[in-house]
Amino acid sequence: MHALCVRDLSLQLPNGKWLVQNLSFTVEPGQVLALMGPSGCGKSSLLSWLTGTIDAKLCASGEVWLGPRELTCLPAEKRRLGLMLQQDYLFPHMSVGDNLRFGLRGGSREERDQRVSQTLAEASLAGMENRDPATLSGGQRARVSLIRTLLSDPCALLLDEPFSGLDATLREQIRQFTWSSAKQLPVVLVTHDEADIPPQADILNLGDAS
């Protein structure tokens, strides 16, 4: 695994307002960087820039690297950055198993099926391959969504308020599952809730960084 490195990032709105100016940071494998700040300060825009899906109306400059590989000009599908949002966006016309197989690369069908079944079992979701996503609880959907992201073998994980739609008990369970599952990846977390931030994380307040 390689570090995720941002160099001299600047984001400017069409009205001329700067969201971020000359921001640089590095997130090492196994490290979590929490982005905090008031609504509208550029947290989600920064994640969109990282993934290559930023709104064309925003003026952006800077570089993003994964180890020796520059991602700045690569299309989103070639960046290998896993993104998990507040809404899980599971495909409603696919079973849980098909949702998970969607992001898998390589191997035979049998090998992919085995990996899906093994990962579901590790997430305490054994035997749910054929379940309709609509029948899952909120916590189960959150786990399936995270598993689907991780099965795509991302080189870094980006989390945009992924726990905020869960009740208190589920929220803590999914937090623990997330940090355990992503412990070898560089992770960037956007949140308004300090309780979402693991103890070892670094915190960057974008309200102070622009």
Q: What is the pLDDT of residue 206?
A: 85
Q: For the chain, list residues with pLDDT below 70.
A: 208-210
Convert the pLDDT of each residue in 65-116 to its tens digit. Answer: 999 999 999 999 899 999 887 777 889 999 999 999 887 877 788 888 898 9
Q: Collapsing DSSP states into helix, strand and coil, what is residue 33?
A: strand
What structural domains does the chain harbor? Answer: 4-90+153-209 (3.40.50.300)
Q: What is the pLDDT of residue 73?
A: 93
What proportions of the chain, in percent to the nearest 5, are helix, strand and coil? Answer: 35, 25, 40
Q: Which CA distances in Å does 186 have to 102, 121, 208? A: 23, 25, 23
Q: What is the pLDDT of residue 68?
A: 95
CA distance 187 to 150: 12
Structure tokens at 49: 């820039």
